[in-house]
Structure 1
Amino acid sequence: MALEKPTIKQLEYFVRLAESTTFRSAAEQLKISQPTLTAQIYNLEKTLNLTLIERSRSGATLTPAGRDLLSNARQVLEEMNGLLDQAAMINHGPGGIFRMGVSPTVGPYLLPHILPGLHQTYASLKLFVRENTPKALELDLLEGRLDLVLIPRPFSNPRLTTEVLFDEPLKLITPEDHPLAKLERVSSHHLKDQNILTLEKQYSSYQQMELLCSELGATIARDYEGSSLDALRQMVIMQMGLTFLPSLYIYSEIHQPQGLIVRDIENLNLYRTHVLAWRQNSPNRSFYRQLAELIRSLVKTNLHEARLNF
């Protein structure tokens, strides 16, 4: 006699409840009644002969067994969704809805130049785009809330696969009346004792700037960390310090005259590397590699004036 097996719907309900922490919230998100959700979770626990959820007035908490099985449940759902996506691709070509995360320091300045080309190549492809900090995007990707992310390195989780897209130079930004703005050539030694503005610690560029300042004898303005690239630009205009901004942002947002001067630093190869990342066991990994190659091609064609490196 074959053993009874959990249904895909039961696993979907279990994962959603684990993420929502209350039966009411999970039921609303699933668009089912709370008694239906309760019954399906009970049936799942009965099938597995395990208690997965600890119920209390304050909500639903995973038991140790529930925590152990949650990643497996997510993987089963991902494989099932991958099977359906693969079948749709065989029938109609690449398409469907994919959830893609991007850093707010990348998305607004890159996506407008590549999304039309992606749509032209894959007419039925739809990308649900979510912006968040790199650490939050990494967690959402690992836990299955996102299918892939487009993000700057460092990004080296062993459970993820990354495909390098391009290197983006970082350029020095000074107020137009700053002494460095008057130099024809700016060298790394000119940055000694300069006040450098940077993004908040949750962004990967913070560690990059911290290391750079240590090497060059510059100082990070720790009391004035920016929450966005726009904030850094405005603080430079107000003469609160200097900063380094990525080429895509400069290409998109900085046009003379703005009270700012853009400078390269001689003998300083400063850049950030962008990757497309997905879970190693993703059933759509073959398509994601195709997507990465198309993004590289679109960036080369549409953003050659931004002087990116490939």
Structure 2
Amino acid sequence: MPTLRQLEYLVAVADLQNFGRAADVCHVSQPTLSQQLRALEDRLGVALIERRTSGAELTPIGREITARARRLVIEVQDIRDLARRAGEHLVGTLRFGVTPTLGPYLMPPIVAALHREQPDLRLHIREGIPEEQALVLSRGALDMLLGPLPIEGGDLEVQPLFRERLFLVAPPDHPLAMRPKLCVEDLKGAQVLSLGRSHHLHRQVAEICAELGMELLRDYEGTSLDSVHQMASSGVGLAVLPELYIGSDVGGRTGIEVLKPQGWKFTRSIAAAWRSGAAYRDAYRTIADRIQAEARALIG
């Protein structure tokens, strides 16, 4: 029978498509990993991996076996987590995924509070694109995820937490910023900045622009909310920024004015997610409740 460790090696190679990186993730030498995968193939009597100079790729049967191996690896990890539980307290490192348009402006006070309440818990926070992180979560490489809805993935439990307003901002000398009254009809034709297309916020801003007749500046896509903020303050265009960013110390309103056009009521919904069968799912709900309370205190 294949060993669990061999199956873990197979899943790592499938995810990374590289023997060296897979060996690093599994904390073994590359020769050891390669030897064990050869032994796995010999034991099963099939070729699982096509070895190339540019990397590694699964064979068709390798993909089928890896899908089943991944489920086994996740189940065993959940069993290990369950065995390590100490009462109602989390112990060890929690791998926490969060969108970069939210994490830096919400997580610091939450991390501090959790450390005070559960000193044996460590949060390993990874910023990333929500759709990609949902896939990583379902594969077992993340424990919990915080991001905008919708969050989609197999066997995930999703808990909506709060709704965050989206604000339209402009430099103080922009013609729209100097109007005493403003309505959404006045925004038609206005040029708007956004993040790159892989971000959920980009798609939401594109929908807002289409609804109100504004022009999305696709040649000036920011790499972060700070870069969008800076371009807006320099007069490149308007920007749509989340409420927690604008209210934070690291974001703020420097160089911009928040426009308040009548009829502007755009928001985004934020949720937490974890695997539905996770051993720590009750603790994850507690963390989600803490995030919800902190966010609501910040945005009122």
Same fold (TM over 0.5): yes
2:296 maps to which residue? 300
* Selected match of 1:52 from 43, 48, 51: 48
The reply to whether residue 235 of structure 1 matches residue 231 of structure 2 is: yes
- TM-score, reference length from structure 1: 0.87
SS in 2 for 1:221: strand
The reply to whether residue 72 of structure 1 matches residue 71 of structure 2 is: no
* Selected match of 2:217 from 217, 221, 234: 221
1:83 maps to which residue? 79
Extract unaligned runs of 5+ from structure 2: none
1:189 maps to which residue? 185
Are residues 50 and 243 of structure 1, via their aligned partners in 2, closer, same or farther at CA, if it must alter by over 3 Å? same
2:120 maps to which residue? 124
Query: Distance in 2 between the 1:247 and 1:63 partners?
Result: 47
1:155 maps to which residue? 151
Instruction: Deviation per CA, 1:119-175: give whole Å up to 9, x if none.
Output: 222222211111122233233223332222111123233543211111110111111
Query: Distance in 1 between the 2:158 and 2:52 partners?
Result: 41
SS in 1 for 2:152: coil
2:130 maps to which residue? 134
1:99 maps to which residue? 95
Contact 2:130 2:200 (C-alpha < 8 Å) held by counterparts: yes
Contact 2:74 2:139 (C-alpha < 8 Å) held by counterparts: no
Amino acid at match of 1:53: I
Give the share of equivalent positions with the same residue, in percent.
38
Query: Distance in 1 between the 2:152 and 2:64 partners?
Result: 24
- Corresponding pairs, count: 299
Query: Distance in 1 between the 2:267 and 2:218 partners?
Result: 22
1:266 maps to which residue? 262
SS in 1 for 2:196: coil
SS in 1 for 2:219: helix
Deviation at 1:28, TM superposition (A): 4.1
* Selected match of 1:111 from 93, 107, 111: 107
Query: Distance in 2 between the 1:57 and 1:197 partners?
Result: 42
Deviation at 1:32, TM superposition (A): 2.8
SS in 2 for 1:298: helix
Deviation at 1:96, TM superposition (A): 1.9
Amino acid at match of 2:284: Y
Contact 1:119 1:125 (C-alpha < 8 Å) held by counterparts: yes
Deviation at 1:251, TM superposition (A): 0.7
Query: Distance in 2 between the 1:30 and 1:209 partners?
Result: 40
**RMSD between superposed Cα atoms in Å:** 2.3
Contact 2:222 2:228 (C-alpha < 8 Å) held by counterparts: yes
* Selected match of 1:291 from 287, 295, 300: 287
Amino acid at match of 1:44: L
Extract unaligned runs of 5+ from structure 1: none
Alignment of 1:29-48 (within 5 A): 29-48=25-44
SS in 2 for 1:210: helix
Instruction: Deviation per CA, 1:25-59: give whole Å up to 9, x if none.
Output: 43344343444323322332344343322234444
Query: Distance in 2 between the 1:34 and 1:226 partners?
Result: 39
Deviation at 1:83, TM superposition (A): 1.5
Instruction: Deviation per CA, 1:161-205: give whole Å up to 9, x if none.
Output: 211111110111111112222234432112111111111111112
Query: Distance in 1 between the 2:251 and 2:93 partners?
Result: 34
SS in 2 for 1:268: coil
Contact 1:79 1:283 (C-alpha < 8 Å) held by counterparts: no
- TM-score, reference length from structure 2: 0.90
